[in-house]
Homo-oligomer: A and B are copies of this chain.
Amino acid sequence: MINKLVNKIKKTGAPIVVGLDPTMKFVPEHIKQQAFGQYGETLKGAAEAVLLYNKAIIDAVYDLIPAVKPQIAMYEQFGTEGLIAFQKTVEYCKEKDLVVIGDIKRGDIGSTSEAYAVGHLGQVQVGSTMCRGFDEDFVTVNPYLGSDGVTPFIKVCGEEKKGIFVLVKTSNPSSGEFQDRLVRCGGENPGQEADRPLYEIVGEQVAAWGAACMGDSYSYVGAVVGATYPEQGRILRKIMPKAYILVPGYGAQGGKGADLVHFFDEDGLGAIVNSSRGIIAAYQQEQYAQYGAENFADASRAAVLAMKEDIAQALANR
C-alpha cells in the first residue's frame, strides 16, 4: 500500500491528504436540513449529515489527490451511528480508489493492539470465517506503550501489505511537554554524550521498526511529524530516511508551504501533507466565500488546487 500511495502521489503531483474531519459547524445548513428532516436532530441525523457532506467533497476532489485521512474522533463523537458513517466514508473513498489513512491514534498493550490492528487493517476470525471490520489502508499509531504496542500493527501490515504512521512529533502547541524532553543518551554519567529529545528516540525506533517491513522505496512504517515544527522535521527526515512522513498542521493550525520543504526528500517524495478544515470548510473562509454554502464542495476543490500550488512552489524555491 505504501507503493500505491507513492505511485498515486507521483501521478497526481499532489503530496496532499485531505482530512475528512467533519464537525457540525462545518456542515452547510442545507445538508443538515436534509439529514435532520429524515432522521431528526439525533445521532443518526448527525451521522447522515456528515456522510452527505463527505461524499460531496470526495466527489469534488478525488481526481486531484492520492489519499484521504478521516479522523475517527469526529465520527466517534456521534457514538455508534457516527462510526457507521466513518465506515461508509472509508468504503466510499476506496470505491474512488483513494488511499485511506484512518487517523485513529490507537496503541495499547500487545494483545489489545492486536485487536485494533485486525479491526482496522486486517481480518478477525469468527468461527471458521475471516471477517473485515473497518479495513482502512493505513492507520496512525501512538507509541507511548513501546514496541509491544506497535509490533502487532506491523505484523498485520506485513500480512496485508498495509501501513502505519507512528506519532513522533505531533503538531499541537503542547506536543513538546513530553515529546521534547531531553533524554539521557550514552554512558552512565549524565552529560557524557549529548542528551537528545524524546521525539528523536521515538524516530530512531520508527526507523528500526520499519527496516523489516519495506516497500519498493519506503517502509510500511511511516511517521507523523507536525508542519508546525519544521526544524524538527528536518532532523527527523534524516533519522528516518525510509519512513514516509505524514505532516498534519498545515493551514488552519499554522503550518505554511515554506515550512514543509524539510519534510521532503530531494525528489519531492517522502512526505504527504494533511489539510482538514482548510479544505473541507474552505467555503467558510473569506478567500473562498464567493462559492457560498451551496457550492461548498467546489470551494474545497479550489482549496486543494491552491494547496497543491503552494507546496509545488515551496519545493521549487528551495
Contacts and interface: CB of A to CB of B under 8 A. Distances in A.
Contacts of A116: 73, 76-77
A84 B84 CA distance: 10
B73 A129 contact: no
- Copies of chain A in the complex: 2
A174 B191 contact: no
A119 B24 CA distance: 13
A270 interface: no
B198 A174 contact: no
B146 A178 contact: yes
A82 interface: yes
A21 B113 CA distance: 12
Nearest to A134: B79
Interface residues of A, number: 78
Given A145-B172, A148-B172, A148-B173, A80 B77 contact: no
A108 interface: yes
Interface string A1-26: 00000000000000000000101100
Interface string A226-247: 0000000000000000000000
Interface string A158-201: 00000000010011111111110111100001110001001001
A278 interface: no
A112 interface: yes
Interface stretch (A40-48, A215-223, A292-300): A40-48
Given A172-B149, A178-B146, A201-B181, A23 B115 contact: yes
A280 to B, nearest CB: 13
B134 A43 contact: no
Interface of A: 21, 23-24, 32, 36, 41-43, 45-46, 71, 73-74, 76-80, 82-84, 87, 105-110, 112-113, 115-116, 118-120, 124-129, 131-134, 142-149, 167, 170-179, 181-184, 189-191, 195, 198, 201-202, 205, 248, 253
- A-B pairs with lowest CB-CB distance, top 10: A79-B133, A146-B177, A146-B174, A41-B127, A190-B191, A77-B119, A41-B129, A109-B172, A73-B115, A77-B115
